Amino acid sequence: MVILYRLIVNNPNFGTVQNWPPQIKESSWFTELKKVTVNWTDSTEMKTTTTRVAYFSSVSEFETWMNANRLTDSTLISALNEWKSTYSITMEEQYSELPVYTPSITGLLG
């Protein structure tokens, strides 16, 4: 099974306050998160919700990556919790199993 991971950030102050505190944005943890995830938000409008998405080809790949990249640094966790509390930011993780699909029609590119 393929795993689709979504990190949904609801930031009611988007546009004036970033989703992440500076300590997180400058960390190696955030660098690793950005290597695997894609920012899936319409940048043409000011939206309060931002979604980062990652696609893993197997449950094993997903679990290996999550275990290696889980946020465990107590200083970063504290900074994140304070940031979320101060700016009323909420974060939700969602996980979906996707079946492998082989289309019976041609794709967009022919």
Structural tokens at position 104: 């019976």
Structural tokens at position 12: 């009611």
Q: Answer yes or no: are the C-beta atoms of 38 and 54 closer than 8 Å.
A: yes
Q: Given pLDDT bands bounded at 50, 70 and 90, which one contains residue 42? A: low
pTM for this one? 0.84
Between 90 and 15, name the one with better pLDDT: 90
- pLDDT score for 107: 79
Q: Which domain holds residue 71?
A: 2-98
Whether 109 is in a domain gets the answer no
* DSSP code at position 2: E
How many structural domains are present in the chain? Answer: 1
Pairing of strands 38-39, 90-98: unpaired
pLDDT exceeds 60 at position 43: no
* CATH classification of the domain holding 74: 3.30.70
Q: Answer yes or no: are the C-beta atoms of 97 and 1 closer than 8 Å.
A: yes
Pairing of strands 38-39, 2-10: unpaired
Whether 55 is in a domain gets the answer yes
Whether 42 is in a domain gets the answer yes
Whether 103 is in a domain gets the answer no
Whether 107 is in a domain gets the answer no
